[in-house]
Amino acid sequence: MQFIGIDLHTNKFTCCYRDERSADKRTETFDLTEAGLAAFYGTLTADTHVLVEATITTFSFVRLFKDRVKEVIIANTYELKQISLARTNTDKLDADKLCRLIKMQVLSGEQTACPVTLASPEIQELRSLFSTYRLYKKQNAQLKNRIHRTFSPPLLKEQLYGFTQEEIFDKRSRAKIRGLSPETALNFQVNQLLDRLERDEADVEVLKEQVLIHAAPFMREIGILTSMKGISVFIAIAIIADVIEVSRFKNSKHFTSYLRSAPKVSNSNTSTSIRGTNKQGRKLAATLLTQSLNHVLNSSLKLRRWYDRLCEYKKAGLVRTGLRRRVLAEIYQMLKKGEYHYARDAKMHEAKMAAYTKLLKSQTFLQKSA
């Protein structure tokens, strides 16, 4: 039985090898080239256990050799504290720590490194598109803040123009904003920023369309999720991209914790403290879902009463986190059982899916025409 710990970089990777019976080790570094990978493949056996830390390139790297070995574990970075907190970090030391960890885990039978689920190529494509989407949205927010409020100097406020944030966001107000003080440097800057903002907004719409198109293989899951009021097709796709598959979560608490909506609870003697949410999970779905919580609240009188009652003695942010957790717990049950939401509006749901299907059909027609 062979054990390998791999410290992966963008252009090379370092491997530490150990076997079952001996404490001896050897370390080799390979280039991420065809020749380097061929040399690495030659060291693998059908009885090899591999541990590699999760990075941007890990998933693609693991697919190259996972069928040549017995087991590959992609370890969650947050759980490998003995590596991140070490005083001395070198490629060889990190690979050796990973190798000792996988050997101890296999021989003892006790799980010490929680594996990260290997996402399918379709999910990886969606996650990549969402990463670019979040970048665009961040840039849009920076541009709007620069025009309106926070970036120094605040261009409009220093000239005593009292536009509200909503007016900056409203495309109908921009013509008026563009016409302010035509001969000043302020007007030049505002027009430059608005031009950039409108280009970015157009790019965001094109990108969202690509997300919708690439999510076509998950039509069944999208249909289930959009049956809940307030869940658009786009938000449903974000949930799917984060979750991958619901079967990997043992219960709704694990599900909501992974989506950063369940706080950590610490108990010591008679005291109990509630801490922040789990930083090891993914936050895309939680971020987008938070923006549609008002729609969810308006769809349920029972949920609205619960929300209003808690807001009387708790902070609004904590209550909204609790609301998001309740919504995600319902989503978990929907996906697990493969059932529509109990409060589904059939007409509204069918309209969502019809619009989505129409988009996919039009894209298929364009591809055939090309």
Instruction: Give the pLDDT confidence of 105-135 residue by residue, as tens digits.
Output: 888 887 777 777 888 889 989 999 999 999 9
Least confident window among 153-157, 176-180, 283-287:
153-157
Q: Tell me, what's the pLDDT at 219? A: 94
CB–CB of 246/330 below 8 Å? no
Angle between helices 301-311 and 316-337 (to 10 degrees): 150
What end-to-end distance do the CA atoms of the chain give, in Å?
53
What predicted TM-score, i.e. pTM, was given to this entire model? 0.80
Instruction: Give the pLDDT confidence of 158-210 residue by residue, as tens digits.
Output: 555 666 667 666 777 777 777 766 667 777 777 888 888 889 889 999 999 99
Instruction: Give the pLDDT confidence of 213-232 residue by residue, as tens digits.
Output: 999 999 999 999 999 988 99
The more confidently predicted of residues 165 and 329 is 329
| pLDDT surpassing 50 at residue 333 | yes
SS3 154: coil
Residue 218 to residue 216: CA distance in whole angstroms: 5
Instruction: Give the pLDDT confidence of 31-89 residue by residue, as tens digits.
Output: 999 999 999 999 999 999 999 988 878 888 999 999 999 999 888 777 666 555 555 67
Q: Tell me, what's the pLDDT at 126? A: 93
Q: Tell me, what's the pLDDT at 86? A: 54
CB–CB of 65/269 below 8 Å? no
Tokens standing for residue 368: 């055939």
Angle between helices 346-369 and 233-243 (to 10 degrees): 80
Average predicted confidence (pLDDT) for the chain? 84
Residue 366 to residue 106: CA distance in whole angstroms: 52
Q: Tell me, what's the pLDDT at 151? A: 42
H-helix segments, the chain: 34-41, 58-63, 81-84, 91-108, 121-148, 165-169, 174-178, 185-214, 219-225, 233-243, 252-258, 284-290, 293-298, 301-311, 316-337, 346-369
SS3 93: helix
CA-closest candidate to residue 236, choices 261, 262, 260, 208: 208
Tokens standing for residue 72: 């590959």
CB–CB of 106/1 below 8 Å? yes
Question: What residues pair up with 49 in beta bridges, in sequence order?
Answer: 3, 71
Residue 365 to residue 334: CA distance in whole angstroms: 33
